Amino acid sequence: MGFLTGAFLKIYAARQRIQLQHQLTSVTMRLSRVTRQMGDAQKQLTRMKQMQSMNMKAMQSYAMKGASAAMNQSIFDLQNSGLSEAQMSSQMMSINSAFTMKQQDIALQFSQMQSQQDMAMQEFEEAQLEPLKNMEESLQVEKASIESQLKLVEGQEKAAGEMEKASSKDFVPEYTGGG
């Protein structure tokens, strides 16, 4: 009876092993797909960040150039105004001071805008990547579970094979004729 039980258990364990291997292959494929999607999403988000940064720097550069052009126009107007040299010197200092304050104001505004963009991008990144991260974690847990089940089934299959082998000795015919 042990022979039949061992054989049946061996076949059953082999069938379970094949099913688990199939599940493991499926989970591994889904996991690699999710990992690839996460990598693609991160690359895309990095490109978006770079583009935003470049756009912000370009806008800041244009704003600085505008302030510089306004200063240059003020200096040109001052030179053509016919004021005394002392008055022009005083006015130049005033123009330089105003230009410096304008530069600081522009830098502060763009720093605040960059900070707001960074926070918005961080929230967007989390919203995009969080479902993929959760799915990846879930698939990794599922994969680990299937791998541990597979090890157990392989152990059961081996034990059933040994039971079958041990019981097969009972079927050896006795050739002594002792009856």
pLDDT tens column, 113-147:
999 999 999 999 999 899 999 999 999 999 999 99
* Total count of domains within the chain: 1
pLDDT tens for 31-71 read 999 999 999 999 999 999 999 999 999 998 998 898 888 88
Write down the mean pLDDT value for the chain.
87
- Give domain status of residue 88, yes or no: yes
Decide if 175 is inside a domain: no
178 falls within a domain: no
Question: For residue 156, which of 21, 19, 6 has the smallest C-alpha distance?
Answer: 6
Q: How many CA atoms lie within 13 A of 33 on its CB side?
A: 8
Whole-model pTM over 0.85: no
Q: Does residue 92 form part of some domain?
A: yes
Q: Which of 177 and 22 is assigned the larger pLDDT?
A: 22
Q: Do 132 and 37 meet the contact criterion of CB atoms below 8 Å apart?
A: yes
Would you say residue 177 lies in a domain? no
- Which residues form the domain of 19? 2-168
Q: Confirm whether 173 is domain-assigned.
A: no
Q: Residue 50: inside a domain, yes or no?
A: yes
Q: Which of 126, 127, 123, 110 is nearest to 53 (CA)?
A: 110
Both structure tokens of 175:
């050739």
Q: Does residue 59 lie in a domain region?
A: yes
